[in-house]
Amino acid sequence: MTTVDVPTLVAQAREGRPRAVARLISLVEGASPHLREVMAALAPLTGGAYVVGLTGSPGVGKSTSTSALVTAYRKAGKRVGVLAVDPSSPFSGGALLGDRVRMSDHASDPGVYIRSMATRGHLGGLAWAAPQAIRVLDAAGCDVILVETVGVGQSEVEIASQADTSVVLLAPGMGDGIQAAKAGILEIGDVYVVNKADRDGADATARELNHMLGLGESRGPEDWRPPIVKTVAARGQGIDELVEALEKHRAWMDEHGVLDGRRAARAAREVETIAITTLRGRLADLHGDARLDALAVRVAAGELDPYAAADALLDGLTEA
Amino acid sequence: MTTVDVPTLVAQAREGRPRAVARLISLVEGASPHLREVMAALAPLTGGAYVVGLTGSPGVGKSTSTSALVTAYRKAGKRVGVLAVDPSSPFSGGALLGDRVRMSDHASDPGVYIRSMATRGHLGGLAWAAPQAIRVLDAAGCDVILVETVGVGQSEVEIASQADTSVVLLAPGMGDGIQAAKAGILEIGDVYVVNKADRDGADATARELNHMLGLGESRGPEDWRPPIVKTVAARGQGIDELVEALEKHRAWMDEHGVLDGRRAARAAREVETIAITTLRGRLADLHGDARLDALAVRVAAGELDPYAAADALLDGLTEA
């Protein structure tokens, strides 16, 4: 095992050194022996970043929109982190490759940190790994973190919905309204984007969306009303309006004390996921464990019932 | 909640009263408040039954074979339990209905207890529920318990492989050899049956099977060599030979001390499954738990890292 100097890595990440950030993310992704040390070091440095989730069906232009947002935030002097979550493959092919090329406009900018994450089957999966990577980017001093999910599956929606602000993207002529309803993303959007708004049907999509959102629970005067922003991300059109909508939502959350609650809820999910993953690991270690074997022999002999044996096993589990 | 007199129920089940057996299985299937009491009462009464698992693709004649085995064991004066595990549906339709009709030959015989179990999505699933039902049948004084699984999925194979003796059934002309290899059932069979042996291709299937089994690890003179029995279960042909093969395997296990090891391994899986199910339940209870919420607020504030919070949560878990 190579020696890892966590305090130095964290200090370098704070200075904005990309390699230190990359190393830290690898450490937290890979369940390294230093994971806990890294997490403990990062904790006091977190909470400064504004986390924006972007979700939507393939082809709506998520990566293009993310890239356009990076440009806008960079113009405003912000440090930006991008976490692109692709659960389907360790290598991004096809459409994604194009996305990455577009994203590479920012590759040489030291104020932008971009990380792709392909984590299907990875320990606790996306729900486990994504929050850890966000913590690293947060502690490294990013002002804004854009979490782009490729699919519209349950775990992707979950990740996006755990952002401070969730952006749901649609595009005209894809029957997106119904798809969105099916995927459950009409419940999670704080801001809606109809991208490719120069195409036929953009107004119809926006109207349909407006109608569907209106069908939700009635809102009080203090409640947040999700705005619908029309963009042509590939040409940067509407991006300033999108940033404005995000900032409005952020200000509304601050004003109404919503942000702390959201972050506490996100932390609760995170802690719970880690606890479950930890327990699974401990249980997996029980295969071949002498204590389980001894209990099993007694159960097989009828001296002990399996529930009493499971209780005895669990009593020792937190000490594992 | 209706009052349940567990000691009386157990005593009645020991006397062979079907309604008491049925009630006890319902209690252990349904995770009733009496589950632990029932299990504790049953434990000292278990271990007397010989558990035979029957597995194979749909259409090979599992239920017909099971029914023929019941007839044979009943002739020998044995009390027989049948657990038919159908993970696909709470109601058995189509082919299964025919099976049940055939099985109903034994429905009026007080020396036979037949139970169907459809448990997909049920608590810990089949792996959880089937062993509990076997325990009830065992404690109720069954000499032989036949566990018939409908599919060849992972959990069905798992259940069958946890029997004292696993019977794998094939039928000619179904490309079963390759299917069996794919399903992994060539590793779990203690006895192989080529049913419908009056059909064309039965000898070829037996030869193919013999060839595939021969390709496995080399065996010493003391090792068990799985026999291949040809049957026509619908006419009772070959069933005496099958019973003989089962008894030989049982005797071999006794002679070589294998049975205790198998039962201990089965008990270990059972205890582990109960432990995992219990933990999942406790973790589910944590949603909205004040302790998790308090920890999450500290994590969100950067006072605590999520791993330390998860540890704190787990420390309290065994007391839940």
C-alpha–C-alpha distance, residues B189 and B213, integer Å: 10
Whether the pLDDT of residue A243 is over 70: the answer is yes
**Pair of tokens at residue B22:** 């049925």
All structural domains of chain A, each given as residue ranges with its CATH number in brackets, are 46-256 (3.40.50.300), 286-319 (no CATH)
Q: Residues in chain B, how many?
A: 320
Q: What is the ipTM of this complex?
A: 0.76
Which of chain A's residues have a Cβ under 8 Å away from the Cβ of B129? none
CA-based nearest distance B174→chain A, Å? 34
C-alpha–C-alpha distance, residues A260 and A42, integer Å: 19
DSSP-derived 3-state class of residue A152:
coil
- In one letter, which amino acid is A299? V
Chain A: residue whose CA lies nearest to B35: A307
Give the residue with greater pLDDT, A222 vs B108: A222
What is the model's pLDDT at position A89? 40
Which of chain A's residues have a Cβ under 8 Å away from the Cβ of B274? 306-307, 309-310
Q: Please state, as a whole number, how many other Cβ atoms lie within 10 Å of the Cβ of residue B100.
A: 16
Rg, Å, chain A Cα set: 22
Lowest mean pLDDT of A60-69, B82-91, B92-101, name the range: B92-101
Chain A: residue whose CA lies nearest to B284: A272
Are residues A40 and B279, on separate chains, in Cβ contact within 8 Å? no
Which of chain A's residues have a Cβ under 8 Å away from the Cβ of B301? 47
Select the residue of A295, A309, A314 nearest B318 (Cβ to Cβ).
A314
| Residue A200 sits at the chain B interface (C-beta within 8 Å) | no
C-alpha–C-alpha distance, residues A174 and A187, integer Å: 19
Q: Binning pLDDT at 50, 70 and 90, where does residue A99 land?
A: very low
The arithmetic mean of pLDDT across residues A251-268, rounded, is: 90
| Residue B267 sits at the chain A interface (C-beta within 8 Å) | yes
The arithmetic mean of pLDDT across residues B28-41, rounded, is: 83
| Residue B131 sits at the chain A interface (C-beta within 8 Å) | yes
| Residue A284 sits at the chain B interface (C-beta within 8 Å) | no
DSSP-derived 3-state class of residue A52:
strand
Q: Binning pLDDT at 50, 70 and 90, where does residue B279 land?
A: confident
Which of chain A's residues have a Cβ under 8 Å away from the Cβ of B279? 279, 283, 314, 317
Q: How far is CA A104 from the centre of its chain?
A: 21
Instruction: Name the strand (E) or helix (H) holding A28.
Output: helix A18-29
